[in-house]
Structures are given as C-alpha cells and as structure tokens.
Amino acid sequence: MKNIIPAFYKLSAAFTLLFMNTIAYAQIDIDIDLGNKQEWYENPKVWIGVAVFLVVLALIARGGKKVS
C-alpha cells in the first residue's frame, strides 16, 4: 500500500508536466497574412470618426439639461 502513493505522485506529476507542455506549445503565435489588408480598427479615419461622434454625443448630452 505504501508503494502506491509515491507511484501516484509520480504519475500525477507526469500528467501535469504533459498538460503544462501542451499549454505552452499552444501559445505559439501563428500569423496568417492574407495580403496587405488593413483591419478596420487600424484605419485612422475610423478613429477620427469615432472621436467626432463622441464629441457630438457629449455636446448633445450636455446641452439637453436646462435649469431655470
């Protein structure tokens, strides 16, 4: 019975090492380049448009309250 416990620890350590190795291998960066296509969030025109929209939205929200 005493020999089963160390064997269990060795087996669980081996499975843990195998599992951690699999996780580490899955972290490899795979870059799939489909040409020189630019993503929408990389376009500066989109960010300028979002900034203008937020400024207009803030002005509308601020101007809606009139206290007399």
Those residues with Cβ within 8 angstroms of residue 40's Cβ, 6 or more apart along the chain or in another chain: 46
Judge whether residue 50 has pLDDT over 90: yes
The residue among 10, 14, 30 whose CA lies nearest residue 22 is 14
- Say what the pLDDT of residue 66 is: 61
pTM of the model as a whole? 0.42
Alpha-carbon distance of 68 to 66, in angstroms, equals: 6
Average pLDDT on 15-35 reads 75
